[in-house]
Amino acid sequence: MTDHLLSLITFFPLLGALFVLFIPKEDGGVMKGFTLAVTLVTFFLSLPLAFDNIFKVSGGMHYTEFIPWISIGDYFQMNYFVGIDGISLWLVLLTTFIMPIAVLSTWNAVEKNVKGFMALCLLLETAMLGAFISLDLFLFYIFWELMLIPMYFMIGIWGGGRRIYAAVKFFIYTAVGSLLMLVAIIYVYYYAVQSGINISGFSIIDFYKVDIPADLQTLLFMAFAFSFAIKVPMFPVHTWLPDAHTEAPTAGSVILAAILLKMGTYGYLRFAMPLFPDATQQFIPFLSLLCVIGIIYGALVAMMQDDVKKLVAYSSVSHLGFVMLGLFAMNMQGWAGGIIQMINHGISTGALFLIVGFIYERRHTREIKEFGGLAKQMPVFATIFLIITFSSIGLPGTNGFVGEFLVLMGAFESELRWYAIFATTGVIFAAVYMLWMFQRVMFGELKNPKNQNLKDLSAREITLMIPLLVFVFWIGFYPNTFFEKMNPAMEQLLHQVKGKHHVAVVETVSAQELASR
């Protein structure tokens, strides 16, 4: 079973989506229950990965599968080549962990066309998992593009009043970046073939061995970097995100924030930086500047928001700027902070969007001025909201502190120390806008009559939040649970990016040899 475990985890949701289509449309509750069951089974299927100690001792790819897929003589070859290391491991687990929570959040929120929404959720899970496990660059691109379709329809059909505008904007931004990346992928393959190196299709492990001239690296890196920057999103190509988050249904916002945005940060880490190490070094000062601008800009704009959901959306721009700054520090501290912050952002910001969804279901408004004094009426809600707020601002003892501390330490110990000094202001601003928002919503007098009969969180809503709260403190107090499996993979990948002679991330073997182990 372990020989095909990744494929089973990845395609089980797709199989579930096909079954959903055969459930009568009148049975909305059955469809929701079935979809929840599929996502839970997928999560439990992925759990053995978390307990496998091979990631502690080896930074290479594990659970690899290699199947020839498309072959046109000696001219073109594409393979189904998948595997994970200690980095992608946690992103796969984050995906399978978040999806049941996202589905459960739809119980009262999605009432129209339930069949379509549930099928799209499962299709999206397959696409996201496929992107994280792909070791063939063209296969990655297929999953990358597949993600666009479900999210576009989730925003466009089940979103808010400006859903069409937000969905189209999301589609255009992502599609433009994807086309540039496709051209670059094809050219990398063409150059690898012309270089005479024995490659297996679009295997990134083989591509890592291709010595691309610096000037060509610059052009190819720009194409990859632009595409991934849109998905992160980095300043100034972030403008699609606030609209998408604000208009998306709660489950869509949770998936978008917790998982989908990590495709951009992961893309830099797995593809853009190791494939084009010289160009990476060349662009680090400029991209780091964009990170710092994004950190400060996102925080300042968040402070100006009257809509809670839009505030959280702009906070994502700021938080993901920290992730990218850690990656551009090009050292173990920065990378550890950046990667763990990917997970932290998925947990904390995903939880914030759930919280916004809870209050919106009760009041059908997200305007901060409409609230005040809710802590008296909803004490459980207020307690959970406070913990997640502390997590988001990086209070010691919570997950956010670990990531931000390591990112800043990594940046200070690199050539980015001046960038780090300015980035620290983002931490201060985050505390200001998050605590200001919490204070206005939770404290004060319960003056608005519409808030005086609000019910506290239900058992279902508390169930949604408990797993997220567990990881807030688990990562805050025991982060080594994650780092001990990341470290070998980070060391190998960092060696590839920083190596003067473009040393491969894994042993210099062909894709077939690796997959046959």
Structure tokens at 424: 């620290």
pLDDT digits (tens, 9 = 90+) for 316-354: 999 999 999 999 999 999 999 999 999 999 999 999 999
Alpha-carbon span 390 to 395, nearest angstrom:
5
Distance CA 388, CA 382 (A): 10
Q: What is the pLDDT of residues 276-302, one digit of tens each?
A: 999 999 999 999 999 999 999 999 999
Say which DSSP state 2 is in.
Answer: G
Indicate if the pLDDT at residue 517 is higher than 70. Answer: no
Contacts of 463 (CB under 8 A, 6+ apart): 104
Q: Which residues pair with 203 in a beta bridge?
A: 136
Give residue-wise pLDDT tens across range 240-261.
999 999 999 999 999 999 999 9
- pLDDT number for residue 73: 67
Instruction: Write out the two tokens for 413.
Output: 């110990």
| pLDDT band per the 50, 70, 90 thresholds, residue 507 | very low
Name every residue whose Cβ is closer than 8 Å to that of residue 174 and which is 6 or more positions away in sequence.
Answer: 148, 230, 231, 240
Instruction: Band the pLDDT of 237: cuts 50, 70, 90.
Output: very high
* CB 368 within 8 Å of CB 441: yes
d(CA 482, CA 478): 8
Mean pLDDT of 6-21: 96
- Taking Cα atoms as reference points, which of 96, 79, 83, 69 lies closest to residue 13? 96
Determine the average pLDDT of the residues in 499-503: 48
Q: Would the pTM of this model clear 0.85, i.e. be above it?
A: yes
How large is the average pLDDT for residues 50-75?
86
Rounded mean pLDDT, 367-389? 92
* Dihedral of alpha carbons 410, 413, 415, 419, sign: positive
Range of weakest confidence among 14-28, 227-241, 487-501: 487-501
Tell me which residue range forms the domain holding 463. Answer: 2-515
What does the angle CA 359 – CA 362 – CA 366 come to, to the nearest 5 degrees?
45
pLDDT at 2: 61
Q: What is the pLDDT of residues 149-159, one digit of tens each?
A: 999 999 999 98
Question: Does 32 score more than 50 pLDDT?
Answer: yes
How far apart are the C-alpha atoms of 331 and 409, rounded to whole Å? 10
Query: Element (H or E) spanning 67, and its range?
Result: strand 62-72
Sign of CA dihedral 290, 293, 296, 298: negative
Mean of the pLDDT values across residues 367-382? 91
Task: Determine the Cα–Cα distance for residues 240 and 317; give it in Å rounded to an integer.
Answer: 11
| Residue whose C-alpha is closest to residue 184's, from 290, 281, 76, 276 | 276
Whole-angstrom Cα distance, residue 12 to residue 30? 18
Q: Do the Cβ atoms of 318 and 295 come closer than 8 Å?
A: yes
The answer to whether 174 touches 231, Cβ cutoff 8 Å, is yes
The region, left, alpha or beta by phi > 0 then psi within -120 to 50, assigned to residue 290 is alpha
Inter-residue contact 264 to 256 (CB < 8 Å): no
Residue 515: pLDDT over 60: no
Supply the DSSP string of 182-241, one letter for each residue. Answer: HHHHHHHHHHHHHTT----TTBHHHHTT----HHHHHHHHHHHHHHHHHHTTPTTS-THH
Q: Which residues pair with 71 in a beta bridge?
A: 77
Is residue 69 helix, strand or coil? strand
Return the number of other C-beta atoms located less than 10 Å from residue 517's C-beta: 9
pLDDT 10s digits, 419-460: 999 999 999 999 999 999 999 999 988 888 888 888 999 999
Question: How many domains are contained in the chain?
Answer: 1
Q: How large a percentage of the chain has pLDDT more than 70? A: 96
pLDDT in tens, 399-415: 999 999 999 999 999 89
* pLDDT over 60 at 1, yes or no: no
Residue 1, token pair as written in the block: 């079973």
Question: Whole-number mean pLDDT of the chain?
Answer: 90
Integer Cα distance of 394 and 384 in angstroms = 15
| C-alpha span between 181 and 461 (Å, rounded) | 40
pLDDT in tens, 162-218: 999 999 999 999 999 999 999 999 999 988 888 777 787 889 998 888 888 989 999
H helical segments located in 256-398: 262-267, 273-275, 277-303, 308-328, 332-363, 374-377, 379-393
**Torsions phi, psi of 248, nearest 5?**
-65, 150
Where is average pLDDT lowest: 56-65, 96-105, 258-267, 339-348? 56-65
